[in-house]
Structure 1
C-alpha cells in the first residue's frame, strides 16, 4: 500500500483560502519561476494553456512528488469549486471524493472519480486504486478528519509568505493535538517553502 500524504499550499498562519474560498496569492509561486515542471501537458491544468513555471528547487520537488501520486482524495466543496478539474486531476490517475451526494449525473463518465461517504472508505478505495503509489489528501475539513482518524502518514505544506488572518484552515476544525516528527523535507523555493513531516505514531 502506498503512503497517505496530506498536502496543500498554505499561508503562514495556516489557511488554504479565505472565507469565500479565494486562494489569493497562494498559487502565484506556480508561475513566478523560470523552470517548467517537465511533462508540461501532463501538469498544465491552469486553464491558460501555459505550463507551470517555478524555481528550479520547487520544480524538482513538485515533479518528484506529483509523479509519485496515484490517487487524490478531496472533499465535495473542492470538487464543486473546481468542477472536479473537468475530469482531469492535476496529478495521479484517480480521484476519490468524500461526499454524501453522488457523482453528478452524466458528469465525465470516462474519468476515474469515485464518490464515497466515509473518510475511512475513501482511504481504503484510494489505496486500492493507487497500489504502491502515494495517496494525496487535500487539506481542509476532509483532510483534517482523515488525519484525526489516524489515516495520514505524512503532512506536506507549501508555505507561502502571506498572512490571511481568517478563512479556511489547513486542518479544518480538527480537535486535539496530533504530533508530527521534525520535518524531513525543507526546500526553499521562490515565494514558497516546501515542508514535509511524518505523523508521529
Structure 2
C-alpha cells in the first residue's frame, strides 16, 4: 500500500491559496506571498517530502498550473515531477497532456483509495486546496508537512476549512528556516481528546 504525503505552504492564519505567483489562482490579491520566504531549508524540506521516487496526487487546477510550468524547467526536482505519474482529481473531459497522467474518476475518494491500495511509489500532494482537506477528513493522509510563513493574509482558501472534522495530529518533526518559515511534520493521531483544568488528560 502506498503512503500519501501532503505538503502545503500556509500563512499563520491558515491560508494556502496562490503561494507561488501573483496570477496563480485568478485575481487573488496576495498571490505569490510565499516566495519572499524561499530559502535553502525550505527547498530541502520540499525535496525531502518527495524522496527518491514518487507519484503525484493533485487536483485539476494544480495539475494545469504545474503542467504549464514544470515541463519548461530542468533539474532533479523538475525531472522527477515531469516523470512522475499524475493521478488527477478532475470531473471534466479535458485531456491530461502533462503525462503520464490518469484521472481518478467520478468518485474521487474511491479513486484515491484504489490508487493508494496499489503497489508503487508514495503519493505526494502539493497545493490542491480542495483535495487536501478531503485527504485528511477521509483519513487518507499519512503525513502532512506545513511550511508556515510569517504572514497574515486575512482571506483566501484555507487548509483547515470551516466544518473540518475534529482530530489530533502528532508532531514528528519541526525546523525553522532562516527566512522565518516554520517547517512542521505531522502524522495522524486519532480522535480529538478533551480535558479540563482540574482533571488531567489520560
Q: TM-score, normalised by structure 2?
A: 0.71
Offset at residue 185 of structure 1 (A): 1.2
Q: Distance in 2 between matches of 1:137 and 1:4?
A: 7
Structure-2 residue corresponding to 1:37 = none
Contact 1:95 1:126 in 2 (8 A): no
Offset at residue 186 of structure 1 (A): 0.5
Structure whose alpha-carbon radius of gyration is higher: 2
Contact 1:144 1:173 in 2 (8 A): no
> Which of 151, 160, 177 does residue 189 from structure 1 map onto?
177
Offset at residue 2 of structure 1 (A): 3.0
Q: Distance in 2 between matches of 1:128 and 1:85?
A: 29
Runs of 4+ in 1 over 6 A off after TM superposition: none
> Which of 168, 176, 183 does residue 165 from structure 2 map onto?
176
Cα distance 1:122–1:27, how it changes in 2: closer, same or farther (>3 A)?
Answer: farther
Contact 2:12 2:149 in 1 (8 A): yes
Offset at residue 13 of structure 1 (A): 0.8
Contact 2:88 2:103 in 1 (8 A): yes
Structure-2 residue corresponding to 1:65 = 49
Cα distance 1:7–1:197, how it changes in 2: closer, same or farther (>3 A)?
Answer: same
Offset at residue 73 of structure 1 (A): 1.3
Structure-2 residue corresponding to 1:29 = 37
Structure 1: gaps spanning 5 or more residues: 31-53
Deviations 1:111-168 (A, max 9, x none): 1111123133135326637x1x321123522110121111111111011111011101
Q: TM-score, normalised by structure 1?
A: 0.71
1:164 aligns with 2:148: no
Structure-2 residue corresponding to 1:6 = 6
RMSD: 2.7
**More deviation, 190-199/66-75:** 66-75
> Which of 68, 78, 88 does residue 97 from structure 1 map onto?
88
Structure 2: gaps spanning 5 or more residues: 19-24, 72-76, 191-202
Q: For this pair of structures, how many residues does the alignment match?
A: 170
Structure-2 residue corresponding to 1:122 = 112
Offset at residue 198 of structure 1 (A): 0.6
